[in-house]
Amino acid sequence: MLKLQNVSFAYDKEPVLKNINFSLEKGQNISIIGQSGCGKSTLLKLIYGLLHTDGKIFWNEKELLGPNFNLVPGEPFIKYLAQDFDLMLPLTAAENVGKHLSNFYPIKKKRRIKDLLEVVEMGDLANKKAKLLSGGQQQRIALARALAKEPEILLLDEPFSHIDHFRKNNLRRRLFSYLKEKEITCIIATHDSTDALSFADRTFVLKNARIYADGSPEDLYRNPPNKYVASLFGDVNHIMLKNILQNEKGRKRVVLYPHEIQITENSKIQAIVKKSYFKGESFLIEAELNGEKVLIDHQEDLKKGTVINLKISDSLINERIK
Ligand SMILES: Nc1ncnc2c1ncn2[C@@H]1O[C@H](COP(=O)(O)OP(=O)(O)OP(=O)(O)O)[C@@H](O)[C@H]1O
Protein backbone atom coordinates (compact mmCIF):
# COMPACT_ATOMS: atom_id res chain seq x y z
CA MET A 1 0.00 0.00 0.00
CA LEU A 2 1.19 3.53 -0.82
CA LYS A 3 0.33 5.96 1.94
CA LEU A 4 0.80 9.74 2.05
CA GLN A 5 0.42 11.57 5.35
CA ASN A 6 0.34 15.36 5.52
CA VAL A 7 2.46 15.81 2.43
CA SER A 8 3.02 19.52 1.83
CA PHE A 9 5.44 21.33 -0.44
CA ALA A 10 6.42 24.85 -1.52
CA TYR A 11 9.05 25.85 -4.10
CA ASP A 12 9.02 29.38 -2.66
CA LYS A 13 6.74 30.85 -0.01
CA GLU A 14 3.43 29.90 -1.58
CA PRO A 15 2.52 26.22 -0.92
CA VAL A 16 1.98 24.14 -4.05
CA LEU A 17 0.59 21.23 -2.00
CA LYS A 18 -0.92 21.36 1.49
CA ASN A 19 -1.53 18.34 3.72
CA ILE A 20 -2.14 15.72 1.05
CA ASN A 21 -3.35 12.45 2.58
CA PHE A 22 -4.32 9.27 0.76
CA SER A 23 -3.70 5.53 0.61
CA LEU A 24 -3.61 3.36 -2.51
CA GLU A 25 -3.83 -0.39 -2.76
CA LYS A 26 -1.33 -2.44 -4.72
CA GLY A 27 -2.31 -2.62 -8.38
CA GLN A 28 -4.65 0.39 -8.30
CA ASN A 29 -4.56 2.88 -11.19
CA ILE A 30 -5.07 6.46 -10.09
CA SER A 31 -5.41 9.55 -12.20
CA ILE A 32 -4.61 13.03 -10.96
CA ILE A 33 -6.36 15.79 -12.82
CA GLY A 34 -6.56 19.53 -12.38
CA GLN A 35 -5.72 22.75 -14.18
CA SER A 36 -2.20 23.40 -15.40
CA GLY A 37 0.02 24.44 -12.49
CA CYS A 38 -2.13 22.85 -9.76
CA GLY A 39 0.74 20.63 -8.58
CA LYS A 40 0.27 17.29 -10.37
CA SER A 41 3.94 16.90 -11.41
CA THR A 42 5.12 18.14 -8.01
CA LEU A 43 3.11 15.40 -6.30
CA LEU A 44 4.69 12.72 -8.52
CA LYS A 45 8.18 14.13 -7.81
CA LEU A 46 7.52 14.03 -4.05
CA ILE A 47 6.40 10.40 -4.20
CA TYR A 48 9.40 9.39 -6.31
CA GLY A 49 11.75 11.19 -3.91
CA LEU A 50 13.05 14.05 -6.05
CA LEU A 51 11.65 16.67 -3.67
CA HIS A 52 11.62 16.74 0.11
CA THR A 53 8.48 17.00 2.24
CA ASP A 54 8.06 17.16 6.00
CA GLY A 55 5.08 14.88 5.58
CA LYS A 56 5.42 11.10 5.43
CA ILE A 57 5.28 8.69 2.50
CA PHE A 58 5.17 4.92 2.99
CA TRP A 59 5.27 1.99 0.60
CA ASN A 60 3.96 -0.91 2.68
CA GLU A 61 6.01 -0.78 5.90
CA LYS A 62 8.91 1.18 4.39
CA GLU A 63 9.07 4.94 4.85
CA LEU A 64 10.33 6.72 1.71
CA LEU A 65 12.74 9.26 3.11
CA GLY A 66 13.30 11.44 0.07
CA PRO A 67 16.32 13.35 -1.27
CA ASN A 68 17.55 14.60 2.12
CA PHE A 69 18.35 10.99 3.04
CA ASN A 70 19.04 9.22 -0.26
CA LEU A 71 22.31 9.99 -2.01
CA VAL A 72 20.78 9.07 -5.35
CA PRO A 73 17.28 10.55 -5.52
CA GLY A 74 14.46 8.14 -6.33
CA GLU A 75 13.55 4.64 -5.18
CA PRO A 76 14.57 1.46 -7.03
CA PHE A 77 11.05 -0.03 -7.01
CA ILE A 78 9.45 3.15 -8.39
CA LYS A 79 9.71 4.34 -11.98
CA TYR A 80 8.94 7.92 -12.81
CA LEU A 81 8.32 8.97 -16.39
CA ALA A 82 8.75 12.74 -16.54
CA GLN A 83 7.37 15.01 -19.26
CA ASP A 84 10.87 15.25 -20.81
CA PHE A 85 11.54 11.59 -21.42
CA ASP A 86 15.32 11.71 -21.19
CA LEU A 87 16.34 9.04 -23.72
CA MET A 88 19.93 8.28 -24.77
CA LEU A 89 19.62 9.72 -28.27
CA PRO A 90 22.60 7.94 -29.94
CA LEU A 91 21.26 4.53 -28.78
CA THR A 92 18.60 2.54 -30.61
CA ALA A 93 15.02 2.15 -29.38
CA ALA A 94 15.80 -1.39 -28.14
CA GLU A 95 19.04 -0.30 -26.42
CA ASN A 96 17.17 2.45 -24.58
CA VAL A 97 14.49 0.02 -23.39
CA GLY A 98 17.13 -2.46 -22.18
CA LYS A 99 19.42 0.16 -20.68
CA HIS A 100 18.72 -0.75 -17.05
CA LEU A 101 18.29 -4.50 -17.63
CA SER A 102 21.04 -6.87 -16.56
CA ASN A 103 23.31 -8.36 -19.27
CA PHE A 104 23.68 -11.53 -17.25
CA TYR A 105 20.94 -13.39 -19.16
CA PRO A 106 21.21 -11.97 -22.71
CA ILE A 107 18.47 -14.16 -24.23
CA LYS A 108 16.05 -13.28 -21.44
CA LYS A 109 16.96 -9.62 -21.86
CA LYS A 110 16.32 -9.73 -25.60
CA ARG A 111 12.94 -11.37 -25.09
CA ARG A 112 11.96 -8.81 -22.44
CA ILE A 113 12.88 -5.91 -24.74
CA LYS A 114 10.85 -7.47 -27.55
CA ASP A 115 7.79 -7.91 -25.28
CA LEU A 116 8.03 -4.34 -24.04
CA LEU A 117 8.41 -2.94 -27.53
CA GLU A 118 5.22 -4.82 -28.40
CA VAL A 119 3.36 -3.28 -25.47
CA VAL A 120 4.14 0.18 -26.87
CA GLU A 121 3.78 -0.95 -30.51
CA MET A 122 7.37 -0.11 -31.42
CA GLY A 123 8.61 -3.54 -32.52
CA ASP A 124 9.16 -2.33 -36.09
CA LEU A 125 11.48 0.46 -35.00
CA ALA A 126 13.56 -1.50 -32.47
CA ASN A 127 16.84 -0.82 -34.26
CA LYS A 128 16.28 2.80 -35.10
CA LYS A 129 18.36 5.36 -33.22
CA ALA A 130 16.32 7.36 -30.69
CA LYS A 131 17.47 10.64 -32.24
CA LEU A 132 15.74 9.63 -35.48
CA LEU A 133 12.40 8.90 -33.82
CA SER A 134 9.47 11.34 -33.64
CA GLY A 135 8.41 12.87 -30.31
CA GLY A 136 5.56 10.38 -29.94
CA GLN A 137 7.81 7.41 -30.77
CA GLN A 138 10.40 8.62 -28.23
CA GLN A 139 7.66 8.90 -25.64
CA ARG A 140 6.60 5.30 -26.29
CA ILE A 141 10.19 4.11 -25.89
CA ALA A 142 10.49 6.02 -22.62
CA LEU A 143 7.32 4.27 -21.44
CA ALA A 144 8.72 0.85 -22.34
CA ARG A 145 11.99 1.70 -20.54
CA ALA A 146 10.01 2.69 -17.41
CA LEU A 147 8.31 -0.73 -17.46
CA ALA A 148 11.49 -2.69 -18.16
CA LYS A 149 12.42 -3.61 -14.59
CA GLU A 150 8.79 -4.17 -13.64
CA PRO A 151 8.42 -1.44 -11.04
CA GLU A 152 6.07 -1.83 -8.10
CA ILE A 153 4.92 1.76 -8.56
CA LEU A 154 4.79 3.60 -11.87
CA LEU A 155 4.44 7.39 -11.90
CA LEU A 156 3.48 8.78 -15.30
CA ASP A 157 3.44 12.49 -16.09
CA GLU A 158 1.31 13.12 -19.19
CA PRO A 159 2.56 9.88 -20.79
CA PHE A 160 0.59 10.21 -24.03
CA SER A 161 1.00 13.94 -24.66
CA HIS A 162 3.04 13.47 -27.86
CA ILE A 163 1.14 10.48 -29.22
CA ASP A 164 -1.46 10.77 -31.96
CA HIS A 165 -5.11 10.12 -31.14
CA PHE A 166 -5.44 6.88 -33.09
CA ARG A 167 -2.43 5.22 -31.48
CA LYS A 168 -3.10 6.72 -28.07
CA ASN A 169 -6.30 4.73 -27.53
CA ASN A 170 -4.72 1.46 -28.55
CA LEU A 171 -1.63 2.13 -26.47
CA ARG A 172 -3.67 3.07 -23.42
CA ARG A 173 -5.65 -0.18 -23.61
CA ARG A 174 -2.47 -2.25 -23.91
CA LEU A 175 -0.62 -0.38 -21.18
CA PHE A 176 -3.38 -0.41 -18.59
CA SER A 177 -4.19 -4.08 -19.12
CA TYR A 178 -0.43 -4.81 -18.75
CA LEU A 179 -0.35 -2.85 -15.48
CA LYS A 180 -3.40 -4.74 -14.17
CA GLU A 181 -1.94 -8.08 -15.19
CA LYS A 182 1.34 -7.31 -13.37
CA GLU A 183 -0.45 -5.57 -10.45
CA ILE A 184 1.67 -2.46 -10.85
CA THR A 185 0.37 0.51 -8.87
CA CYS A 186 0.18 3.45 -11.23
CA ILE A 187 -0.42 7.17 -10.74
CA ILE A 188 -0.93 9.15 -13.89
CA ALA A 189 -0.96 12.96 -13.98
CA THR A 190 -3.03 13.97 -16.97
CA HIS A 191 -4.98 16.63 -18.80
CA ASP A 192 -6.73 14.02 -20.88
CA SER A 193 -10.17 13.08 -19.58
CA THR A 194 -9.99 9.65 -21.29
CA ASP A 195 -7.05 8.68 -19.06
CA ALA A 196 -9.11 9.67 -16.05
CA LEU A 197 -12.45 8.26 -17.18
CA SER A 198 -11.67 5.01 -18.96
CA PHE A 199 -8.54 3.72 -17.28
CA ALA A 200 -8.40 4.91 -13.69
CA ASP A 201 -9.90 3.07 -10.72
CA ARG A 202 -9.94 6.32 -8.81
CA THR A 203 -9.41 9.99 -9.64
CA PHE A 204 -8.04 12.83 -7.53
CA VAL A 205 -8.83 16.39 -8.53
CA LEU A 206 -6.20 18.88 -7.33
CA LYS A 207 -7.07 22.52 -6.71
CA ASN A 208 -5.78 25.23 -4.37
CA ALA A 209 -2.96 22.94 -3.20
CA ARG A 210 -5.38 20.29 -1.92
CA ILE A 211 -7.24 17.19 -3.02
CA TYR A 212 -10.43 18.95 -3.98
CA ALA A 213 -12.38 15.87 -5.06
CA ASP A 214 -11.66 12.16 -4.81
CA GLY A 215 -13.83 9.41 -6.23
CA SER A 216 -14.42 6.85 -8.91
CA PRO A 217 -14.20 8.47 -12.36
CA GLU A 218 -17.81 7.47 -13.02
CA ASP A 219 -19.07 9.10 -9.85
CA LEU A 220 -17.08 12.31 -10.39
CA TYR A 221 -18.33 12.52 -13.97
CA ARG A 222 -21.99 11.77 -13.24
CA ASN A 223 -22.19 13.80 -10.02
CA PRO A 224 -19.59 16.54 -10.41
CA PRO A 225 -19.56 18.58 -7.19
CA ASN A 226 -19.18 21.77 -9.21
CA LYS A 227 -18.28 23.35 -12.54
CA TYR A 228 -14.51 23.06 -11.98
CA VAL A 229 -14.63 19.27 -11.67
CA ALA A 230 -17.08 18.85 -14.57
CA SER A 231 -14.98 21.08 -16.85
CA LEU A 232 -11.98 18.74 -16.45
CA PHE A 233 -13.98 16.13 -18.38
CA GLY A 234 -14.89 18.39 -21.33
CA ASP A 235 -17.34 21.16 -22.28
CA VAL A 236 -19.81 22.04 -19.58
CA ASN A 237 -22.66 24.50 -18.95
CA HIS A 238 -23.24 26.37 -15.71
CA ILE A 239 -26.79 27.55 -16.23
CA MET A 240 -28.86 29.89 -14.05
CA LEU A 241 -31.70 27.80 -12.64
CA LYS A 242 -34.19 30.61 -13.21
CA ASN A 243 -33.54 30.29 -16.95
CA ILE A 244 -34.68 26.68 -17.03
CA LEU A 245 -37.12 26.34 -14.10
CA GLN A 246 -40.31 28.40 -13.90
CA ASN A 247 -40.49 29.08 -10.16
CA GLU A 248 -36.81 29.71 -9.56
CA LYS A 249 -35.42 33.12 -8.67
CA GLY A 250 -31.98 34.22 -7.54
CA ARG A 251 -28.58 33.33 -8.91
CA LYS A 252 -28.32 29.60 -8.23
CA ARG A 253 -26.76 27.64 -11.09
CA VAL A 254 -26.68 24.03 -12.22
CA VAL A 255 -23.89 22.13 -13.98
CA LEU A 256 -25.02 20.34 -17.17
CA TYR A 257 -23.01 18.64 -19.91
CA PRO A 258 -23.97 19.49 -23.51
CA HIS A 259 -25.44 16.00 -24.08
CA GLU A 260 -27.79 16.45 -21.13
CA ILE A 261 -29.76 19.17 -22.90
CA GLN A 262 -32.19 18.14 -25.64
CA ILE A 263 -33.60 20.23 -28.44
CA THR A 264 -37.32 19.48 -28.65
CA GLU A 265 -40.59 21.15 -29.59
CA ASN A 266 -42.18 20.16 -26.26
CA SER A 267 -40.66 22.87 -24.14
CA LYS A 268 -41.11 26.54 -23.37
CA ILE A 269 -37.39 27.19 -22.74
CA GLN A 270 -36.30 29.10 -25.81
CA ALA A 271 -32.78 29.84 -27.01
CA ILE A 272 -31.27 31.26 -30.18
CA VAL A 273 -28.52 29.47 -32.10
CA LYS A 274 -25.27 31.46 -32.35
CA LYS A 275 -22.84 28.91 -33.80
CA SER A 276 -22.59 25.26 -34.71
CA TYR A 277 -19.40 23.15 -34.54
CA PHE A 278 -19.02 19.83 -36.34
CA LYS A 279 -17.73 17.17 -33.92
CA GLY A 280 -17.88 14.05 -36.09
CA GLU A 281 -20.67 12.06 -34.43
CA SER A 282 -22.72 15.18 -33.66
CA PHE A 283 -22.71 18.97 -33.69
CA LEU A 284 -22.00 21.20 -30.73
CA ILE A 285 -24.57 23.98 -30.84
CA GLU A 286 -23.72 27.24 -29.11
CA ALA A 287 -26.93 29.11 -28.26
CA GLU A 288 -28.05 32.06 -26.19
CA LEU A 289 -30.55 31.49 -23.40
CA ASN A 290 -31.68 34.73 -21.71
CA GLY A 291 -28.25 36.27 -22.31
CA GLU A 292 -26.37 33.13 -21.17
CA LYS A 293 -24.22 30.97 -23.44
CA VAL A 294 -25.42 27.34 -23.59
CA LEU A 295 -23.69 24.40 -25.31
CA ILE A 296 -25.88 21.55 -26.60
CA ASP A 297 -25.02 18.29 -28.40
CA HIS A 298 -27.29 17.79 -31.37
CA GLN A 299 -27.45 15.36 -34.28
CA GLU A 300 -28.04 18.03 -36.93
CA ASP A 301 -26.39 21.25 -37.94
CA LEU A 302 -28.45 24.36 -37.11
CA LYS A 303 -28.23 27.78 -38.74
CA LYS A 304 -27.35 30.93 -36.82
CA GLY A 305 -30.54 32.68 -35.64
CA THR A 306 -32.68 29.50 -35.44
CA VAL A 307 -34.98 29.56 -32.41
CA ILE A 308 -34.76 26.28 -30.48
CA ASN A 309 -36.59 24.87 -27.47
CA LEU A 310 -34.57 23.12 -24.78
CA LYS A 311 -35.47 20.26 -22.48
CA ILE A 312 -33.58 19.01 -19.44
CA SER A 313 -34.77 16.15 -17.29
CA ASP A 314 -36.23 17.35 -13.95
CA SER A 315 -34.72 14.41 -12.11
CA LEU A 316 -31.26 15.32 -13.44
CA ILE A 317 -31.65 18.93 -12.29
CA ASN A 318 -32.81 17.76 -8.85
CA GLU A 319 -29.87 15.38 -8.66
CA ARG A 320 -27.37 18.14 -9.51
CA ILE A 321 -28.71 20.78 -7.14
CA LYS A 322 -28.90 18.45 -4.14
N1 LIG B 1 11.26 24.11 -10.15
C2 LIG B 1 10.30 24.97 -9.82
N3 LIG B 1 10.61 26.13 -9.18
C4 LIG B 1 9.63 26.99 -8.81
N5 LIG B 1 8.32 26.80 -9.03
C6 LIG B 1 7.96 25.68 -9.68
C7 LIG B 1 8.94 24.71 -10.10
N8 LIG B 1 8.28 23.68 -10.70
C9 LIG B 1 6.96 24.01 -10.66
N10 LIG B 1 6.77 25.19 -10.05
C11 LIG B 1 5.47 25.84 -9.80
O12 LIG B 1 4.71 24.99 -8.96
C13 LIG B 1 3.33 24.95 -9.37
C14 LIG B 1 2.92 23.50 -9.65
O15 LIG B 1 3.66 23.05 -10.79
P16 LIG B 1 3.46 21.58 -11.38
O17 LIG B 1 4.45 21.42 -12.48
O18 LIG B 1 3.49 20.60 -10.26
O19 LIG B 1 1.96 21.69 -11.93
P20 LIG B 1 1.17 20.71 -12.91
O21 LIG B 1 -0.21 20.59 -12.35
O22 LIG B 1 1.93 19.45 -13.12
O23 LIG B 1 1.15 21.57 -14.26
P24 LIG B 1 1.03 21.07 -15.79
O25 LIG B 1 -0.33 20.43 -15.89
O26 LIG B 1 1.10 22.37 -16.55
O27 LIG B 1 2.17 20.13 -16.07
C28 LIG B 1 3.23 25.89 -10.57
O29 LIG B 1 2.76 27.12 -10.12
C30 LIG B 1 4.66 26.00 -11.07
O31 LIG B 1 4.88 27.26 -11.65
For ligand 1, atom 18: residue with the closest CA: 39
State the Cα angle at 207 between 205 and 210, rounded to 5°: 85
Give the pLDDT mean for 225-252.
Answer: 90
- CB count within 10 Å of CB 68 equals 10
The whole-number average pLDDT for the span 140-145 is 94
Confidence band, pLDDT 50/70/90 cuts, at residue 167: confident
Q: What is the mean pLDDT of residues 280-303?
A: 96
Report which ligand 1 atom has the smallest distance to the Cα of 191: 25
C-alpha span between 294 and 257 (Å, rounded)? 10
State which of 7, 9, 17, 41 you would mutate to test the pocket of ligand 1, scoring each by most atoms of that ligand within 8 A of its C-beta: 41
Alpha-carbon gap, residue 101 to 151, rounded angstroms: 12
- Ligand 1, atom 30, lies closest to the CA of 37
How much is the pLDDT for 27?
A: 95
Task: For ligand 1, atom 27, name the residue with the nearest CA.
Answer: 36
The predicted pLDDT at position 285 comes to 98
CA of residue 277 to ligand 1 center, whole Å: 33
11 lines ligand 1 (CB under 6 A): yes
Is 38 close to ligand 1, i.e. is its CB under 6 Å away? yes
Residue nearest to atom 1 of ligand 1 (CA): 11
How far does the centroid of ligand 1 lie from the alpha carbon of residue 154, in Å? Answer: 20
Evaluate: CB of 40 within 6 angstroms of ligand 1. yes
Please write the tens of the pLDDT for every residue from 184-203: 999 999 988 888 888 899 99
Coil, helix or strand at residue 262: strand
Cβ count near 265 (within 10 Å)? 7
Minimum-distance ligand 1 atom for the alpha carbon of 158: 27
Sign of CA dihedral 139, 145, 181, 152: negative
**190 ligand 1 Cβ < 6 A:** no
Full-model pTM: 0.91
Q: 41: Cβ below 6 Å to ligand 1?
A: yes
For range 276-302, the mean pLDDT: 96
Q: How far is residue 109's CA from residue 247's CA, in Å, rounded to a whole number?
A: 70
Residue 322 in this model has a pLDDT that exceeds 80 = no
Confidence band (pLDDT; 50, 70, 90) for 66? confident
pLDDT of residue 133: 95
* 251 pLDDT tier (thresholds 50, 70, 90): confident
Q: Give residue 29's pLDDT.
A: 95
Mutation test residue for ligand 1: of 7, 8, 9, 11, the one with most atoms within 8 Å of CB: 11
When pLDDT is averaged across residues 273-302 and rounded to a whole number, the result is 96
